[in-house]
């Protein structure tokens, strides 16, 4: 007779999931697994609300917080930039083994964006809050725990106006090619912001880099890396150019557009015989 088999249950709804690999984890070394996005959100929502309240209170009490940047709290662009190019990251582990991460990014307009999240597999897995402030006191409050060492990310050089325009023009060209090749079943455009944090890793440590030619006869490059998100693997493809009008002497690489995809055919459309690099995986 068969024996009682190992069982796995969702932390939130307590429903059984068929196998361990169907549980989603948010925190490293945590026993909390979830059956899906809905349960993750339901489970963490009360904590989100508490952290938001305490953030509001902190800012109300603070003389230096002007409120001028409050409309940027939880703004998508701000969140993306905090994760793709943070200035500082802190992490704080409590006595029951839960670790919170604090990502800080100072913006030239004078405000600092702070994101509080959990990390899993070195990626932000659940974001509690993105708080924007111009108060040093508030920023210092969230410089809690241990400061993490950041690996130097690909520095994108400052661009001139004509260079920006050139890149914008290439962006629409590549976007047209992307739309032509994409399947409806692929990752939806609305979800793209959730993938932006894969760009620095793709640029710094690509699996493959190819040289391609666009319809205007200019060279461009595809930086490709495979990742896993919620148990499913996908390609992250960044299309880049080298310098303005593709100055071939330039070593600076400018990312033009980035696309996540689960489609092999789509990924293959950004490969060519001209391989610039390919990492050997063991
Ligand atoms: Zn559940």
Distance CA 28, CA 118 (A): 8
Residue 188 has pLDDT above 70, yes or no: yes
- Shared domain check, 181 and 130: no
Tell me which residue range forms the domain holding 66: 9-147
The rounded Å distance from CA 179 to ligand 1 centre is 35
85: in domain:
yes
> What is the model's pLDDT at position 250?
63
The rounded Å distance from CA 159 to ligand 1 centre is 47
- Percentage of the residues of the chain whose pLDDT score is greater than 90: 60
176: in domain:
yes
- Shared domain check, 143 and 229: no
The rounded Å distance from CA 32 to ligand 1 centre is 11
155: in domain:
no
- Shared domain check, 126 and 14: yes
Count the helix, strand and coil residues of the chain and give each as a percent rounded to the nearest 5: 30, 30, 40
E strand map for 78-207 = 88-93, 99-106, 112-120, 123-133, 146-147
Domain count, the chain: 2
pTM of structure = 0.57
pLDDT digits (tens, 9 = 90+) for 150-159: 765 544 556 6
Could you say which of 147, 170, 205 is where a domain stops?
147
Asked if 222 and 214 count as a contact pair (C-beta separation under 8 A), the reply is no
- Arithmetic mean of pLDDT over the chain: 88
- Shared domain check, 170 and 75: no
> What is the model's pLDDT at position 34?
95
- Shared domain check, 182 and 138: no
Ligand 1 is an ion; its neighbours by CB within 5 Å are 10, 12-13, 35, 39
> What is the model's pLDDT at position 247?
58
At 195, the pLDDT band (50, 70, 90 cuts) reads confident
Could you say which of 147, 170, 196 is where a domain stops?
147
242: in domain:
yes
Task: Say which residue, 94 or 250, is predicted with more confidence.
Answer: 94
Region 57-75: mean pLDDT is: 94
- Shared domain check, 140 and 174: no
The rounded Å distance from CA 123 to ligand 1 centre is 22
The rounded Å distance from CA 59 to ligand 1 centre is 35
154: in domain:
no
Strand partners, 222: 210, 239
Region 64-73: mean pLDDT is: 94
- Shared domain check, 32 and 89: yes
Strand partners, 51: none
């Amino acid at each position: 007779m068969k024996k009682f088999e190992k069982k796995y249950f969702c932390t939130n709804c307590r429903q059984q999931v068929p196998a361990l690999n169907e549980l989603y984890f948010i925190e490293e070394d945590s026993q909390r697994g979830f059956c899906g996005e809905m349960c993750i959100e339901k489970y963490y929502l009360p904590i989100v609300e508490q952290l938001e309240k305490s953030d509001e209170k902190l800012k109300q009490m603070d003389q230096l917080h002007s409120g001028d940047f409050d409309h940027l709290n939880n703004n998508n662009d701000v969140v993306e930039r905090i994760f793709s190019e943070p200035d500082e990251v802190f992490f704080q582990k409590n006595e029951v083994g839960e670790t919170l991460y604090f990502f800080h990014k100072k913006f030239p307009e004078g405000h600092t964006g702070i994101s509080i999240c959990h990390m899993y597999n070195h990626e932000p897995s659940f974001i509690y809050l993105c708080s924007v402030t111009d108060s040093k006191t508030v920023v210092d409050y969230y410089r809690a725990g241990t400061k993490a060492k950041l690996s130097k990310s690909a520095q994108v050089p400052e661009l001139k106006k004509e260079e920006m325009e050139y890149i914008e023009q290439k962006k629409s060209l590549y976007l047209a090619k992307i739309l032509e090749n994409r399947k409806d079943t692929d990752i939806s455009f609305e979800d793209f912001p959730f993938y932006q944090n894969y760009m620095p890793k793709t640029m710094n440590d690509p699996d493959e880099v190819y040289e391609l030619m666009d319809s205007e006869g200019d060279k461009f490059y595809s930086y490709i890396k495979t990742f896993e998100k919620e148990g499913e693997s996908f390609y992250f493809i960044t299309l880049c150019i080298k310098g303005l009008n593709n100055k071939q002497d330039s070593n600076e690489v400018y990312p033009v557009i980035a696309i996540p995809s689960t489609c092999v055919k789509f990924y293959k459309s950004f490969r060519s015989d001209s391989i610039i690099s390919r990492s050997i995986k063991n």
